[in-house]
Amino acid sequence: MATDTVIDCGGIGKRYRRSWALRDCHLAVPAGHVVALVGPNGAGKTTLLSLAAGLTLPSEGAMTVLGDQLPGSPRALDRIGFVAQNAALYPGLPVRDLLAMGRHLNRRWDDARARTHLEGLGIPLERKYGRLSGGQQAQVSLALALAKRPELLLLDEPLAALDPLARHDFMSVLLTAVAEDGLSVMFSSHAVNELEQSCDYLVVLAGGRVQVTGEVDDLLGGHRMLTGPTAEAEAVAERLPVVRDRRAGTQSHLLVRTGGVDAPVSGEWRQQRIGLEELVLAYLREPTASALPGPRGAVRTNEKVLLP
């Protein structure tokens, strides 16, 4: 069953008691990507992943996953793997029993894959989950999720509690699975500096709304950092959509959206492409700026549209 989007929601919102964790959230993530979901604490990342996994119901709006499936429906649960934050599993059970549980609870189950995965890392199957190291626990959770042969894998802060070596091991297993199965992955992360090697699609959440969404290559190609005389900065800023505007005495730095071409500015301006980390940080520092694709991403009223 081919699906063009793995997560599709228009105007979805989730309220906990009186505060909105997610509000008016528009998102359409195409299949076949490794999606990084970034944003400050409390931006709604966990809520968005919980909604997609069917753990939470939206307060307003609706979401579909894997094309036209409702999150939490049997068909969706069958095809989505979920690795929770801190990878919590039953601490008193040996790894072997956890694998057996997964086998009993799922219609699709690749036991050999999980065993190969864990044995390859030297994780003893008879050891209790609670006695494994943090990195090993994360690997067991990943093995359980991948053994379902999911079409979409959701991971909530999978790297947060891991040391650098464990992070590297985790990501390499994950990316190998992506290469083998072609599954779509969406993971939330704080480690902005490590994103560039692992993801090819970016979603930035801030204050419960989607701020940036798009393929990494398009986003990086569509932004330029302009450095030039402050005297002309005002004129440039009026013509181009500026994400971040830093003006000093003589020189100014403007991060602008150019739509994949060089910005039409005079020779006095130097333009550079920027890295993913820099891009993410710029947007996070400017909560009102946004970069959303059409037609699903609504153009905000406070957003300047790129002039031809």
DSSP code at position 125: T
75/270 with CB nearer another protein: 75
Pick one of 18, 19, 41, 104: the residue that binds another protein (CB under 8 A). Answer: 104
Q: Which of 70, 105, 231, 235 binds another protein (CB under 8 A)?
A: 105
Residue 151 phi/psi, 5° resolution? -90, -25
Residue 271 is a binding residue for another protein (CB under 8 A): no
- Determine the residue type at 69: Q
For another protein, give the closer residue by CB, 5 or 69: 69
By the 8 A CB rule, do 256 and 243 touch? yes
Nearest approach in angstroms of CB 86 to another protein is 7
Residues in the interface with another protein (CB under 8 A) total 36
The residues in 56-75 that bind another protein, with binding defined as CB under 8 A, are 56-57, 72, 74-75
189: alpha, beta or left, given left = phi > 0 and alpha = psi -120 to 50? beta
Of 95, 59, 54, the residue nearest 76 (C-alpha): 54
Residues found in the chain: 308
Q: In the complex with another protein, which residue's Cβ is closer, 57 or 299?
A: 57
Name the DSSP letter for residue 148: T
- Rule CB under 8 A: which of 19-58 touch another protein? 50, 53-57
DSSP-based helix, strand, coil % in the chain, nearest 5: 35, 30, 35
Residues that bind another protein (CB under 8 A): 1, 50, 53-57, 72, 74-75, 77-78, 80-82, 84-86, 88-93, 97, 100-102, 104-108, 141, 144, 148
